[in-house]
Amino acid sequence: MLAFRWHRVAALSVCVLGVAVLTASGSAVARTRRDHAAGTTPACVPHVPTALPGDPNHVAAKLTGAARAGIGGYPGTVYRSPWANFKPKAKPPWIIGMSNNEGNLNAADVLKGLKEEAALNPGLVKKIIVTTPSTPNDVATQIQQMRSLIEQHVNFIISTLGSPTALNAVINQAAAKGIPTISLLGQSTSKNAVNLQPNPIQLGYYGARGLLTAMGTGKGAVLNVQGIPGLSINTDIEKGAAAVFKACKTPIAGNLTGDFSPSVAKTQVLTFLSAHPGTINGVFQVADMAPGIFSAFQQVGRKVPPVADIGAPAASLVYWKQHAHAGYVGTGVAIPAIKDGTYSMAVALAMLEGDGVKITDVPFAPPVITPANLNKWIQPGWTQSTNALGDGPPSAVPITALLDTYFKKAPKIKSAG
């Protein structure tokens, strides 16, 4: 799963646009800010990924609209869903199980989204039973808690993914009893799971595209800050970004590991800057570490370069807004946790109503944050100390349009997006 938010908040949002169209007058900063707002992208940047994942049952190839946009470049292999003809044995109201892999802000926001979607469809959800291990990412305990949800006769399980493989047995156990599982913010290898997440390859692509755009000409050295190397979400985001950097021949000044933690990232960047006095023109970070990176540059008295704000926590969005007047050019891609919950509950209810999900994976294109829509992502009263996640306007994730394409028949449930 997305160990960053799941570790600090979860998951994970993609990048933004803007570039420098040079004119004969005005400062370089002013030109960069103006053209970034106009959305001009360096010519070297390739088009957004559209290649389909592995598709042996030819289900992805038939997708259109928002679903087709969301699955472009998606990693791995997708299949025809074994739940395509699912009809639950029980009638509503249904009991939903929520299995967290840790308790954090992401978990709280996902639950908020689940409840909001349930409230939009009165009479369909009796209650939501929530389980959370006392130790973050304790997969063994999460498995036990999911088994407990099965024993409590829930009708559906929504689970933040602690492992792409370790939960397969309990997901399959639930399936054998007619209980579907949404694997939230990760890609389970069980065909019985319904994988739901922002497309991680696109997270990296839009993050890198927005960064080069914010840098003004797409030229200059970039510092790369990973989350946890080897973690699938980290690998996929890095892969999406690498394609952009390769196409633009972007020099990578260094590769650091920040553990998806702003404080760890700050320490790593401080150490790097002390040994590398050369100019850093931009920073690519995999998710949620931007506040620590801002602080590191400020502490050593160096100009803060554009930082790819994947994840878009409140602290980094507020920094962007407050420092734009001084020349900071921001760029962002969101991983909206409340909408992850809203979309998950919408998929669950559509499946329980027998609308027939066609495919094992139902990703969405991550929302891009630009200077033009930045204010829609910042809530009144937020400061650089606010512990919150950017969730954006209702239109940020087109849930209704996604359901209409991912399901055999258009669901009748109401949704906020």
Lowest mean pLDDT, pick from 5-19, 179-193, 200-214, 317-331: 5-19
What is the per-residue pLDDT for 162? 80
First to last CA, the chain: 24
Residues 251 and 178 sit within 8 Å (Cβ to Cβ) = no
**Longest pairwise C-alpha distance within the chain:** 71
Instruction: Calculate mean pLDDT across residues 361-370.
Output: 97
Instruction: Calculate mean pLDDT across residues 17-23.
Output: 32
pLDDT at 281 over 50: yes
Determine the Cα–Cα distance for residues 50 and 71; give it in Å rounded to an integer: 8
Determine the Cα–Cα distance for residues 3 and 93; give it in Å rounded to an integer: 33
Residues 113 and 344 sit within 8 Å (Cβ to Cβ) = yes
Lowest mean pLDDT, pick from 6-15, 39-48, 106-115, 279-288: 6-15
Architecture of domain 3-49+200-334: 3-Layer(aba) Sandwich (3.40)
Residues 320 and 333 sit within 8 Å (Cβ to Cβ) = no
Give Rg (Cα) of the chain.
21
Query: What are the structure tokens assigned to 355, written together?
Result: 């609308």
Q: What is the mean pLDDT of the chain?
A: 90
Lowest mean pLDDT, pick from 118-122, 160-164, 295-299, 363-367: 160-164
What is the per-residue pLDDT for 84? 98
* Pairs from 241-244 (Cβ < 8 Å, separation ≥ 24): 241/204, 241/205, 241/207, 241/208, 241/284, 241/308, 242/204, 242/208, 243/46, 243/49, 243/204, 243/205, 243/208, 244/45, 244/46, 244/204, 244/205, 244/208, 244/209, 244/212
User: Which strands sit side by side in the sheet containing 94-99, from one edge to the other?
Assistant: 125-131, 94-99, 156-160, 181-184, 193-196
Domains 3-49+200-334 and 60-197+337-364+398-406 share a fold: yes
CA 172 to chain centre: 26
Structure-token match 């990703």, residue found:
363
What is the per-residue pLDDT for 233? 85
What is the per-residue pLDDT for 163? 84
Q: What percent of the chain has pLDDT over 90?
A: 83
Determine the Cα–Cα distance for residues 118 and 125; give it in Å rounded to an integer: 6
Of 211, 218, 166, residue with least CA distance to 193: 166
Determine the Cα–Cα distance for residues 353 and 359; give it in Å rounded to an integer: 17
- The per-residue pLDDT for range 78-94, each reduced to its tens digit, is 999 999 999 999 999 99
Confidence of residue 10 (pLDDT cuts 50, 70, 90): very low
Spell out a b/e string for 231-262, using b for 16 or more CB atoms within 10 Å of the CB, else e: bbbbbbbbbbbbbbbebbebeebbebbbbbbb
The dihedral of CA 158, 163, 167, 171: what is its sign? positive
The two beta strands, 94-99 and 156-160, are parallel
Residues 84 and 356 sit within 8 Å (Cβ to Cβ) = yes
CB hemisphere CA count around 309 (13 angstroms): 35
pTM: 0.89
At the fourth CATH level, the homologous superfamily of domain 60-197+337-364+398-406 is Response regulator (3.40.50.2300)
Interaxial angle between packed helices 139-151 and 168-176, expressed in degrees from 0 to 180 and rounded to the nearest 10 = 10
pLDDT at 7 over 90: no
Confidence of residue 2 (pLDDT cuts 50, 70, 90): low
What is the per-residue pLDDT for 34? 41
Query: What are the structure tokens assigned to 394, written together?
Result: 């209702």
DSSP 122: T
Q: For the chain, which residues make up each domain, given as ranges?
A: 3-49+200-334, 60-197+337-364+398-406
What is the per-residue pLDDT for 5? 57
Cβ within 8 Å of residue 248, ≥6 positions away: 42, 44, 45, 212, 218
pLDDT at 19 over 60: no
What is the per-residue pLDDT for 39? 53
What is the per-residue pLDDT for 3? 52
Confidence of residue 38 (pLDDT cuts 50, 70, 90): very low
Residues 295 and 172 sit within 8 Å (Cβ to Cβ) = no
- The per-residue pLDDT for range 337-358, each reduced to its tens digit, is 999 999 999 999 999 999 999 9
Sort residue 363 into left (φ over 0), alpha (ψ -120 to 50) or beta.
Answer: beta
Determine the Cα–Cα distance for residues 217 and 234; give it in Å rounded to an integer: 27
Task: Identify any residues that bridge with 361 across adjacent strands, giving them in sequence order.
Answer: 195
Determine the Cα–Cα distance for residues 340 and 131; give it in Å rounded to an integer: 18
